[in-house]
Structure 1
Amino acid sequence: MHLEAFLYGGVSAVLAELASYPIDTCKIRLQVQGQVTDDALTAIKYRGTLHTLMSVCSEEGFFSLYNGFRFAALRQATYGTLRFGIFFSIKRMWNDRGGTDKNLPFLIALGTTAGVTASILTTPIDRMKVLSQSTAQTRKRKIVNTFKKTHSKGGISGLYQGIWPNAKRAAAVNGAEIPCYVFVKDFLTNTLGLEDNMLTQFYCAVTASAVGICISQPFDTAKTRIMQQKTHRTDIRVYEGFFDMCRLTISNEGRRALWKGAFPAWCRNGPWNIVFYLVMERFRKFDQWANQRDHSYF
């Protein structure tokens, strides 16, 4: 395994998360509202991305948009490190053995495997992040105390609440975004003859973001709603899983509700991927220069 892929992937992911986190908070606020299964979330308070941004800033302060960022940073330092490290390490071994980036089914299978593996290992951190972002916080959550509190209420299953929707979402995102970036970049540079520069990398990142959102948004909505639920409460209807959540959501709110937060998700995912891949590509250049290589792990 190539440790550089893990290190550079983790650092790039944390920087990308910092740049796009406020939009992610807006996405989660939009996703959890309107649920008839929980009286506290039935009301439609936010009307869109800009309205959510303005409302949260005026009512809770600008830094409320960064509620739970410590969990997000920890998540990307683990989840981001694992999913990108696994993908690019195995891809490097594949290329060294004569494999090609034009093999899209292989790239999709590799991206899906890397995403599912990383998401299963880091689900507790992801749930802490969702809980911190989904509602206004009267005080900052401390990482250790939050884990202890959640564990005391629901045990290990409470920490891993939403693990399978999270894994499905990770499979959809990573099976689409990372392979799309690699495949499109190979097509633009090796087939069309474009230079491998920042503009080309920008095009690839935007394309990967759009494809990823189209495929993964229902899974992301399910993950957010299931993770956000307080399963210890008896006065709310708890979703039994991904398909139960989809059935109830479509029945109560319509099919479009599965794509709630799609626009802020794209607004967040676009900059996230742009920052991530541009930083990652700079690390690639640095790695080649520092180790005097004619190629990198990418």
Structure 2
Amino acid sequence: MVVAQRGIIPPRNYADTYWFKYILSCCAATTAELATYPLDLAKTRLQIQGEKGLNGANAPPYRGLARTGMGILQEEGLMKLWQGVTPAVYRHMIYSGTRMVLYEKMRDHLFTCRPDGTRPVWQAIVGGILAGGVAQFLASPADLIKVQMQMEGRRIFEGKPPRIQSASEAFVKIYHAGGLRGLWKGCMPNVYRSAFVNLGDLTTYDSVKRYFIGTWKLSDTYWTHGLASACSGFIGAALGTPLDVVKTRIMNQPTDVRASGISGLVSAVLGCPADCIKARIMNQPVDNMSRGLLYKNSVDCLMQTVRNEGFWALYKGFIPCWLRMGPWSLTFWITYEQIRNACGTSAF
């Protein structure tokens, strides 16, 4: 029997394994989320304002980003600016890790690489859409809990009884009220929104960064990362805000727990534009006495929003969305690239 001498078999390098990249992307996403979360809270509050049948007679008037943030600070307290941040971090543990690793795996094994290091844009678009959609579907329950927790401070200030006190309590109540399907309420507008956001964020960052390095001959440094992330943040906000509005409103609407079976399932998976719709759906009550649905599905939410409030209602919260997505992308990508470099992992 031959015994291998010490040092003959080199230690395995884990720096470029996908599970290690998953952990690094989660760390970068958590850093970015904690730094920019108050802007996300203000954006969600702005998207809920003006929703027909939900705001009472004493509802606050429309306010911009700064006044919304100051209103939360003055009326609810400093720490309420981070209300719902726990499920937001949980979401990124699933969402960011999955989308980054899935996109990079597709890029490395399926995309065509040109001699200058760039790849066809259409391949990057398909990869970004698929990675974002799959990741958001898996993370949708955490996003649902986050949106509902974000609205609790507003409800308490308006004199309404609190619905939930913690992320775990929200999870249990949603599960008891609607089962597993209830945890994926509003998931389709969320999935569509994330697909478009990743088309703007992941695809834009990857393509622009490689264009800067390959065509403009820029070095792979902070400046290149900053320029690429600035472009990705703007495009992501422009593509994702209407879908986020739809998603917000669907998630915020009251739930009729009696609406189940095939019709409920069909309604849950029908179309959806989404940032506004997402928040409204996700914030809906989870108790058994909740009102009937305001929207039949995401398409109905889109149509009602445009009919009742005009087309530009789909861009409610665009400024805070952009102001958040820009710093979020900048923080995330610079952090991600630097910790990859520090750990000996190849650049993204």
TM-score clears 0.5:
yes
**Matches of 1:101 and 1:37 in 2, distance apart?**
50
Per the alignment, residue 85 of structure 1 pairs with 101
Tell me if 1:241 matches 2:257.
no
Per the alignment, residue 84 of structure 2 pairs with 68
Secondary structure of 1:231's partner? coil
Per the alignment, residue 232 of structure 2 pairs with 208
TM alignment of 1:85-124, pairs within 5 A? 85-94=101-110, 98=113, 100-124=117-141
Q: TM-score, normalised by structure 1?
A: 0.91
Question: Following TM superposition, by how much is the alpha carbon of 1:196 offset from its aligned partner in structure 2, in angstroms?
Answer: 1.7
Per the alignment, residue 128 of structure 1 pairs with 145
Distance 1:246 1:229, change over 3 A: same
Distance 1:94 1:297, change over 3 A: farther
TM alignment of 1:1-298, pairs within 5 A? 2-40=18-56, 43-94=59-110, 98=113, 100-136=117-153, 141-232=165-256, 235=291, 237-288=293-344, 296=346, 298=348
Question: Following TM superposition, by how much is the alpha carbon of 1:204 offset from its aligned partner in structure 2, in angstroms?
Answer: 0.7
1:210-234 CA-to-partner distances (Å, cap 9, x unmatched) read: 0111111110111111112221356
Per the alignment, residue 14 of structure 2 pairs with none
**Matches of 2:105 and 2:57 in 1, distance apart?**
43
Question: Following TM superposition, by how much is the alpha carbon of 1:101 offset from its aligned partner in structure 2, in angstroms?
Answer: 3.3
Question: Following TM superposition, by how much is the alpha carbon of 1:297 offset from its aligned partner in structure 2, in angstroms?
Answer: 5.8
RMSD across aligned positions (CA):
2.1
**Matches of 1:153 and 1:92 in 2, distance apart?**
43
**Matches of 1:214 and 1:76 in 2, distance apart?**
21
Distance 1:125 1:3, change over 3 A: same
- Name the aligned partner's letter for residue 37 of structure 2: Y
1:172-203 CA-to-partner distances (Å, cap 9, x unmatched) read: 11122111001111111110112221112111
The answer to whether the Cα contact below 8 Å between 2:33 and 2:328 also exists between their aligned partners in 1 is yes
**Matches of 1:165 and 1:67 in 2, distance apart?**
23
Secondary structure of 2:343's partner? helix
Secondary structure of 1:35's partner? coil
The answer to whether the Cα contact below 8 Å between 2:149 and 2:166 also exists between their aligned partners in 1 is no
**Matches of 1:225 and 1:165 in 2, distance apart?**
10
Distance 1:42 1:112, change over 3 A: farther
Highest RCO, 1 vs 2 (Cα 8 Å, sep ≥ 6): 1
Question: Following TM superposition, by how much is the alpha carbon of 1:40 offset from its aligned partner in structure 2, in angstroms?
Answer: 4.1
Identity %: 31
- Name the aligned partner's letter for residue 337 of structure 2: E
- Name the aligned partner's letter for residue 45 of structure 2: R
Distance 1:5 1:42, change over 3 A: farther
Q: TM-score, normalised by structure 2?
A: 0.79
- Name the aligned partner's letter for residue 254 of structure 1: G
**Matches of 2:165 and 2:24 in 1, distance apart?**
28
- Name the aligned partner's letter for residue 315 of structure 2: W
**Matches of 2:144 and 2:90 in 1, distance apart?**
12
